[in-house]
Structure 1
Amino acid sequence: MNKWLLVLLFTCASTQAAEHGVKEISPGRLLLKEGEMAVGISPAPAKIERVLIIIHGRLRNAETYRQSAERAAEQAGQSANTLVIAPQFLNETDVALHPVADTVLRWQGNDWMAGGVSIAPFALSSYAALDQIIARLGDRRQFPDVKDVVIAGHSGGAQVVQRYALLSHGQPELKAAGVHVRYVIANPSSYTYFDERRPVAFNHARCPDFNRWKYGLTDLPAYAEGQTPAQLEENYVQRDIVYLLGQQDIDPNHPALDKSCEAQAQGAYRLIRGRNFFDFLKRSHPKELNQQLIEVPGVGHNGDGMFTSPEGQKVLFGQ
């Protein structure tokens, strides 16, 4: 097994149910510069050609998403060359409920979703944590065969992937190694727009934050420092991004749907919000857009159903 995987420190994870905390803390630990990242990881194949980084949603149930990603890889016949990594962005409630070392990174509430900074053991943006994980995959001494890195998320995880694709710093290690990066955004509640245009009319006076981060590019997090909105937009449209939308994700009253005025200005439900955002991209960048929208028939707001569908398997594993 390669050296990087051997730095995983395995601990017993409590499975005690909790109303506001995670039911389970992932057993693995990845050592980052600022602390240890809780992580779930699949058994490492002998030859790793693809790494699928799967991002959990608001429930922070990384193990559920790891298992779903592994199932998708197996059904696609790609288990023999795919490593699945499922980072877990713990918060203060989780570590109060479950015993973890002080060295394990944790965030305040849902700050991790928008690129916020960890509260312990040191300050680290959740997006910078992803940067560190991804950068290592370009190390040819440890990952000599990796050709593709796929960063995917569903629902709240898809919100993270969309914002990370927009703000993420360049990955010179991966580019130098010839590793291709794809972002898969499945059924998020909202998107970050590049300007003040929105597909649905709304009362600006009653919705003053409609263009603030994370719905727009006003008041960007510290992670984005040094990048102008124009640069962010230019980089974003050139990235390989797939919007994977369930054709039955059409409930305007879904309990996990963002119903804020900022989100409602993007559409009534997730399917139409995704279509509206992709139309916005095509109108703004009719020539240079390097992205696609793929709809999954018969699937609603179900991460496992999205990723294990034929359409999901195709975009995750490049078939």
Structure 2
Amino acid sequence: MKNILVLLSTLLFNCPATDAAVLPTGSGSFHFTVPQSTKKIEVFSYQPPEANARTPIVFVLTGLNRDADKYRDDWVENARKNKLIVIAPHFSQQDYPGSDGYNLGNIINSQTGKLNPQGEWAFSVIDSLFAEMQKQGITQQKSYYLFGNSAGCQFVHRMLTLMPAPKVKAAICAAAGWWTMPTPQTPWPYGLDNAPITVSQQQLAHYFALPVLITVGGKDDNPNHPLLRRSPQAQAQGDSRLQRAKAYFMAAEQQARHNIMPFNWQFTILSGVAHSGSKMSAYAAQQFGWFEQHGKFKVQDD
């Protein structure tokens, strides 16, 4: 099976542009060479039976452990039920070191403190990979769904804040440990003051207008969680992931209202759920399946 997947990986991104490539049915993996870079990223995939080039695609961003294969596996059952193709890129510690390299998108060189070229940003990988899948005929979709849990949610919300108009149809951001508030008064990286990338009002308006679901577990309220950042700036957002998620949503809503911008976000708390990537993945798959059918997320207020 491993040899078959290697062969499929070779075919996936090395066939002529006139020939449509295919993902393997079921679980698989392939390597993607990042444009304008020598980096190669291993990408874990799942394609349900009877999927085709019109099947919606979900990019899945992992938590701290960067276990893209496990996250892909957690999505399999619900991706099959909801007819979704799962793409989970693995950002290695070697190429994207530490929280600067992943959670903060590798926009800053941690050794020099200078802005990296855009081709080095982790954030740039998602649109580049999607564009290659379009080019190879793997997908006819014009946009994709985006999901991140924990550190992956940190990746997702900063990508949507800092990247101009990524090809995202809708996004779910779950249980970040701390956030970059979409406010110009709060210093980077906890806000946009003195951010290494200037975020225009147009970019913020695009982000606020995007269908985004901020979610967190009702039991993800441990102020002493060993992986929870406790800097004074993080503590100002709240003493737990639950409180910080609420604070982020409220800050975005207030910023949109202040600037008279459309605001299409929603917020949910999953009752009885603590800090769980597998439970958030199952919830997100169901939400994207609903969104694909109804054009909106299914929340209790609907």
TM-score (ref. length: structure 2): 0.75
SS at match of 1:42: strand
Residues 248 and 30 of structure 1: is their aligned pair in 2 closer, same or farther, counting only changes over 3 Å?
A: same
- Note the 1:44-193 alignment, pairs <5 A: 45=49, 46-48=51-53, 49-74=55-80, 77-78=81-82, 81-92=83-94, 106-110=95-99, 111-117=101-107, 124-139=120-135, 141-144=137-140, 146=141, 149-171=144-166, 181-193=169-181
What does residue 32 of structure 1 align with?
A: 34
Is 1:315 the counterpart of 2:287? The answer is yes
Gaps in structure 2 of 5+ consecutive residues: 1-7, 15-27, 110-116, 294-302
Pairing partner for 1:305 from 261, 274, 279? 279
Shift of 1:211: 1.8
Shift of 1:170: 2.4
Shift of 1:218: 3.1
Shift of 1:234: 2.0
Gaps in structure 1 of 5+ consecutive residues: 10-25, 93-105, 175-179, 198-209
Shift of 1:235: 2.3
Is 1:220 the counterpart of 2:211? The answer is no
Shift of 1:140: 8.7
Shift of 1:277: 1.6
Letter in 2 for 1:217: L
What does residue 4 of structure 2 align with?
A: none
Deviation track 1:223-252 (CA, whole Å, cap 9, x = no partner) reads x3xx44433322221122110211111111
Shift of 1:186: 0.5
Shift of 1:273: 1.1
Asked if structure 2 preserves the Cα contact closer than 8 Å seen for 1:7 and 1:30, the reply is: no
Q: How much is the aligned-residue C-alpha RMSD, in angstroms? A: 2.9
Shift of 1:164: 0.7
Residues 267 and 136 of structure 1: is their aligned pair in 2 closer, same or farther, counting only changes over 3 Å?
A: same
- CA distance in 2 between counterparts of 1:116 and 1:285 reads 27
Shift of 1:139: 4.5
- CA distance in 2 between counterparts of 1:139 and 1:148 reads 13
Deviation track 1:126-180 (CA, whole Å, cap 9, x = no partner) reads 1111221133355594423x36511101111111111011112324xx5xxxxx6
Letter in 2 for 1:220: A
TM-score (ref. length: structure 1): 0.71
Deviation track 1:257-297 (CA, whole Å, cap 9, x = no partner) reads 11111111101111111112212222222461011112211
**Percent identity (aligned):** 24
Residues 148 and 27 of structure 1: is their aligned pair in 2 closer, same or farther, counting only changes over 3 Å?
A: closer
